[in-house]
A and B are shown apart, each in its own frame.
Chain A
Amino acid sequence: MELIGDYYAEKILSRKDLIERELLGWVCWGGVELQQDLFGWKVHVGKDEFACRSETEARYLRVFLDLGWRKVSVPQDEKYLAEILPRLEYLKRRADEIIDSGLAAVFNRKLKDEVRRKFYRKISGTAVTQNPVEIGEAA
């Protein structure tokens, strides 16, 4: 299976219609929530929120917020975003399943968090070296 970083480099960084989004505010895993209100879609992370133009963009940002990225490039073509999103979400879901089953017998929360952070950094791989995207440490 390809790494999320490789997928990102191939499918996103190769495009010209990119807008960079700052993802500051990431705090921990599992605290990312999507919400739709009168003003559109938002991604909530703790006290921070990221306004999005659509549900697709919100789901796209959630993947990278979960992975701890600090910046991410977003294609402006909504149709294209919808096209690449399912694979991206699948890769993230598989990563989480592998973590859950692989660390089922590890009860040390600190170790678990450290492994998760390192693993996320590894699957974010290539993109880190090709783009000034940084993988965040817990705030």
Chain B
Amino acid sequence: MLAKDWDYAPLVFPAKVGERMPVFLNDGVFEDKKLYGITPHKEADAVLLAALLNSTLARLFIEFSARQLTGAQAIADIDVIVVKTLNIIDPKKISAKLKTRLKKSFERLANTPAESLFKEIAPTPDAVSLDEVKTERRELDKIIMGDILGLSEAEQLEVYVAVVDMVRARLDKAKSVGRRAKQKGGSLADALSQNLLDDFRNGD
């Protein structure tokens, strides 16, 4: 039988991300190749870990490490090794007070729908403003980037801008492939090969 005596992983991480990247608290879904299971060393840390993984900073690190595919799809592919080696703040080094704030803040975020980052943060890099970030997300990010890491507001703004910029660039690339494929006489193979050619020309 599949996964006999297998415990549910307390957290599941999506193997592909688009505009959204929710990392779920889990108590009833088996992990598989599309949903990676994450089991914290201490079970009690699951919520804390969920808070860290759902932050915009984690998203930034993921965007750096994920495979961007051909651009034919708007998603990025996250290998399991990327998740395994993802850098996050060591929960042991977070004070008890901040841990409590983080967990509460995450619970508030978890009670809202996980929306596109273009909605939660800003539709374009130029439009990013700390005041316009979704309140619950901003609250969580503020604790992580401000209170724990000590980033200034300008630096936090840069993190948001970078994330929006990277995801926007990926989507724009996907659209350009779609457009190429739709051109008269064009095919998906033409569009993909043209994309590879662009990557080749831009390489070192």
A and B pair up: yes
Chain A contact residues, CB within 8 Å of chain B: 1, 3, 94-95, 98-99, 101-106, 111, 114-116, 118-119, 122-123
Instruction: Output the nearest chain A residue to B194 by Cβ-Cβ distance.
Output: A122
**B192 touches which of A101, A102, A104, A123 (Cβ 8 Å):** A102
- Taking A98-B196, A118-B189 as known contacts, 8 extra A-B pairs with beta carbons closer than 8 A to each other, sorted by chain A number, are A98-B199, A101-B67, A102-B69, A102-B196, A102-B199, A103-B192, A106-B70, A111-B192
Query: In the complex, what's the smallest C-beta–C-beta distance from B20 to chain A, in angstroms?
Result: 19
Query: In the complex, what's the smallest C-beta–C-beta distance from B77 to chain A, in angstroms?
Result: 6
Contacts of B190 in A (CB 8 A): 118
Interface size on B, residues (CB 8 A): 22
**A102 touches which of B70, B187, B189 (Cβ 8 Å):** B70
Secondary structure dominating the interface of B:
helix
**B200 touches which of A1, A106, A115 (Cβ 8 Å):** A1
Say yes or no: A94 contacts B192, CB within 8 Å: no
Q: Map CB proximity to A onto B164-204 as digits: 1 under 8 Å, 0 otherwise.
A: 00000000000000000000000111101111110111111
Say yes or no: B203 contacts A1, CB within 8 Å: yes
CA distance A3 to B198 in the complex (A): 11
Give the 10 A-B CB pairs with smallest separation, nearest first.
A118-B193, A114-B189, A119-B193, A1-B203, A102-B70, A115-B192, A122-B197, A119-B196, A115-B189, A115-B193
- The answer to the question of B105 belonging to the interface, with a C-beta cut-off of 8 Å to chain A, is no
A and B contact pairs by CB, cutoff 8 A, 28 listed: A1-B202, A3-B200, A3-B201, A98-B199, A98-B203, A101-B67, A102-B69, A102-B70, A102-B196, A103-B70, A103-B192, A103-B196, A104-B67, A104-B69, A105-B69, A106-B70, A106-B192, A111-B188, A111-B189, A114-B187, A114-B189, A115-B196, A116-B193, A118-B190, A118-B193, A122-B194, A122-B197, A123-B197
Say yes or no: B203 contacts A94, CB within 8 Å: yes
